[in-house]
Amino acid sequence: MYPETILLMGLAFVSAACFVPLVFLLTGKRKDRLASRLEELSASGEADPVAVRAKLVRSTLPKMGAILLPKHAEERTRLQTRLIHAGLYGRQAMLSFLGVKMLLILAPAIIGLIAGLSGVLSIQKGVIYGVLAGVFGMIGPSFWLDRRKTIRQRQFRRALPDALDMVVVCLEGGGTLQSALQRVAAELRNVHSALAMELSIANREVQMGNSVGGALKHLADRTDIEELRSLATVIQQSDLYGASLVKALRVYAESLRLQRLYRAEELGQKAVVKLLFPTALLILPATFIVILGPAVLEIAKMFKNMR
């Protein structure tokens, strides 16, 4: 195996290994305080190696991320908004994200330099490969963040019509809108966990004195979903003009179901186009070989006998 191939495989492995702490730190679920306390009390006194390493990573990455922290408040606010849209609400989320990015930038360059100094490659090639991998490490986390936001929004759009149907049923049964949101958040926890968590946050805001429409507007700002903004507007207008909230939510839920159906049909139409290229490049040539291959061989034999 060529040294260049070995180095590229090593750089790819290091980049993937450095990216794991980002997923672990930013997407890992927090334990309940009671569960954490019980684990501490039931521990035998020996430190868990995994917990020690996780604590070390959590304390090191924010320090590394402080180097890349934007100086202007607008840039920090923009990055914080992107993290919130992706569902990363931790206090150290920004610094941890920037710390992993810093690690992905520096680690490949250092490995490339070490490979050049050790003689595996020339110093020039080692530095070039390390810098190229570092460029990928610089832009890779941003693509991951945008991808996570897109997946999260897709999950919300799929779950929102079902949640509104349950809210309408609770309201028709005589409950208030706040109690309906609490019930929906509890019922959807196993099916649509992301929406259930956001509804729980909205319920906490309502308990602290905010209106339901205002809490849902904040939810829409956290997720950057236009459907939730429209839902907050519907609720606020119903409270303002005294209109029937049940009828308004039922009509809005039907429109959301239609939008979900249209998106599914759109994805189905796109799938036909996407399948066209593999069919033309892979399946059709194999079919032509199977069908026309024997005929071509027979024609070749016929011309050979004519000589």
Per-residue pLDDT tens for 206-222? Answer: 989 888 889 999 999 99
Among the ranges given (27-31, 126-130, 239-243), the one the predictor scored with the smallest mean pLDDT: 27-31
Phi-psi region of 211 (alpha: psi -120 to 50; beta: other; left: phi over 0): beta
pLDDT tens digits, one per residue of 187-210: 888 888 889 999 999 999 998 988
Domain that includes residue 87, residue range: 3-150
Q: Does 146 fall in a domain?
A: yes
pLDDT of residue 29: 46
For 42-67, what is the mean pLDDT?
Answer: 65
pLDDT category of residue 44 using cuts at 50, 70 and 90 = very low
**Per-residue model confidence (pLDDT) at position 149:** 93
Q: What is the mean pLDDT of residues 20-41?
A: 51
pLDDT of residue 31: 47
Q: Is residue 199 part of a domain?
A: no
In a domain, 56, yes or no: yes
Q: Which tops the pLDDT comparison, 147 or 91?
A: 147
Average per-residue pLDDT in the chain?
80
Whether 107 contacts 15, CB under 8 Å: yes
Lowest mean pLDDT among 39-48, 54-63, 150-159, 237-246: 39-48
In a domain, 18, yes or no: yes
Q: What is the pTM assigned to this prediction?
A: 0.72
Q: Is residue 102 part of a domain?
A: yes
**pLDDT value, residue 45:** 47
Q: Does the residue 302 lie in any domain?
A: no
- Considering only 25-34, 85-94, 226-235, 259-268, which range has the smallest mean pLDDT? 25-34
Question: 145 pLDDT exceeds 50?
Answer: yes
Q: What's the pLDDT score for residue 153?
A: 92
Residue 293 lies in a domain: no
pLDDT in tens, 258-289: 998 998 888 888 888 888 888 778 887 888 88
How many structural domains compose the chain?
1
Answer yes or no: are the C-beta atoms of 70 and 79 closer than 8 Å: yes
Q: Is residue 298 part of a domain?
A: no
As a whole number, mean pLDDT of residues 102-113 equals: 85
* pLDDT > 90 fraction of the chain, expressed in percent and rounded: 14
Q: How far apart are the two ends of the chain, measured CA to CA in Å?
A: 48
